[in-house]
Amino acid sequence: MSETAQTNRAPLPPEIGRRRTFAIISHPDAGKTTLTEKFLLYGGAIQMAGQVRAKGEARRTRSDFMKMEQDRGISVSASAMSFDFARGQNDYRFNLVDTPGHSDFSEDTYRTLTAVDAAVMVIDGAKGVESQTQKLFEVCRMRDLPILTFCNKMDRESRDTFEIIDEIQENLAIDVTPASWPIGVGREFIGCYDLLHDRLELMDRADRNKVAKSVKIDGLADAKLADHVPADLLEKLREEVEMARELLPAFDRAAFLEGSLTPIWFGSAINSFGVQELMAGIAEYGPEPQPQMADPRQVSADEGKVTGFVFKVQANMDPKHRDRVAFVRLASGHFERGMKMTHVRTKKPMAVSNPVLFLAADRELAEEAWAGDIIGIPNHGQLRIGDALTEGEALRFTGIPSFAPELLQGVRAGDPLKAKHLEKALMQFAEEGAAKVFKPAIGSGFIVGVVGALQFEVLASRIELEYGLPVRFDQSQFTSARWISGPEDAVDEVIRKNGQHIAHDNDGDPVFLTRLQWDIDRIERDHPEVTLSATKEMMV
């Protein structure tokens, strides 16, 4: 979206205009969870950032609340957090959605990216662009999301700055403009030069929770620089910045908002360095809440009526209460607690009396919220991924995908008498989007489909923890699944002739289970009017 399109639109109401809703994407271990912690620290949301593998309950990371996440030090569920960030005279409200970095949970991440207006891409200074970063970047590209890049771990031995920038430009086909430039590397790393504001940012290695100190200077020729930077590093800095300014594009907000240019900051999240500059970049240059695609019309953030859509459902966040929370991205309007909303799929009114705002696993009642905010609505299974909530209009938000699973396994309860409990647990996880659950047309039992093998482990451990049900997964004869669509009589004929391949998903839609690509080719050849699809739009 061009800068002119932004300026031609009337300015958003101040409460909406100050919101920045974004996700953090990265390869596992690039430091995403640590960066999230520091965001919360600077937003004043937590007093002390806990390291991911810190000792003791008191210092668990705040954004990983599932037991498995805490045991393994990885993020497997996407959580949303809201906090304020003051920048000069302005006060911004950040809505940060943390995504799973592990590739086995990529579907959760794809859906999360439908609910944000921008993404922060974290890369490791030593490893550069890794496979999972590339996959997630492609999703951002499909959605034309503006991307801010943070090159982390500069306090360890890392690669040459130009080499890192070249790799991003080549692998991701996006222009890169340096927002800051690192001074020294590894043990010699002392800070960065802020190219956007001509400032020197110095890192304090002694206290990891301390804000880096900033020295105001007048360009790179300023004599004051010599008081803070050793002569050899200063000479190298001046040389490199001169080259960078000649070789790399200058920052252009319109190109950034269109998704064709990414500004890059360098820093060390664990040492709280470079994080504040990145946050300032999100506040100053990041997009305000954007219009959302819906059918039959686009929804603009400044519309008077409240609309929103569910992009994630998390079950049993509080195991004592068997609750389910639907994460809703508000697309327009000013929401107030107790409002009556229409649940578009069932056409029923729904009073939203106890909506919550998240601070990682802490939640507080949301008295009000605005377009761009993410609120949680506790419910007992009424809300599903893709559902729309409006003040009466029959809108359907588009582009929330569901992907065909790549791994299928049969599932059995350890205790045969508890088959009914198992069905209930599986349906809950299917509606949450944690797995696909298929009920074969012939025979009993269920087939569970996931994108990555780690999801089976997570499911087994959650079913046992949350429902007290030990389960076993067995090999299935099927390798993948496709949704069947087309004229009703043609679909019925496929179902009649291929009974042993047919199942239904938790929405009741027919699914064709395949062993080989040959099965799919055969159906497409014999029934040309029927479509077998690997994705399904999650809207009703």
Distance CA 230, CA 219 (A): 17
**For residue 60, pLDDT beyond 50:** no
Residue that has been written with the tokens 């061009």 in this structure: 2
Give just the sign of the alpha carbon dihedral 13, 18, 19, 25.
Answer: positive
Top-confidence residue, 293 or 42: 293
Residue 219, Ramachandran bin (φ over 0: left; ψ between -120 and 50: alpha; else beta): left
**For residue 427, pLDDT beyond 80:** yes
Q: Is 22 helix (H, G, I), strand (E, B) or coil?
A: strand
Side chain identity at residue 363, one-letter code: R
Residue 247's contacts (CB-CB under 8 Å, 6 or more residues apart) are: none
Spacing of C-alpha 74 from chain mean position:
14
Give the pLDDT band (50/70/90) at residue 416: confident
Mean local confidence (pLDDT), 183-211: 79
Mean local confidence (pLDDT), 211-240: 81
Q: Do residues 192 and 266 make contact, with C-beta atoms less than 8 angstroms apart?
A: yes
Top-confidence residue, 261 or 221: 261
Residue 110's contacts (CB-CB under 8 Å, 6 or more residues apart) are: 139, 401, 403
Listed in sequence order, the DSSP H helices in 381-479 are 419-432, 454-467
Spacing of C-alpha 326 from chain mean position:
15
Mean local confidence (pLDDT), 372-397: 87
CA-wise closest residue to 387 among 345, 421, 415, 423: 345
Mean local confidence (pLDDT), 40-45: 71
Q: Of the spans 341-345, 361-365, 412-416, 467-471, which averages the highest pLDDT?
A: 341-345
Radius of gyration of the chain (CA): 25
* Cis, bond preceding 296 (omega within 30 deg of 0): yes
At residue 288, the pLDDT reads 92
Averaged pLDDT score across all residues of the chain: 81
Give the pLDDT band (50/70/90) at residue 376: confident
The pTM score is 0.75
312 burial type by CB count under 10 A (0-12 exposed, 13-18 middle, 19+ buried): buried
Q: Do residues 256 and 262 make contact, with C-beta atoms less than 8 angstroms apart?
A: yes
Give the pLDDT band (50/70/90) at residue 349: very high
Q: Is 78 helix (H, G, I), strand (E, B) or coil?
A: coil
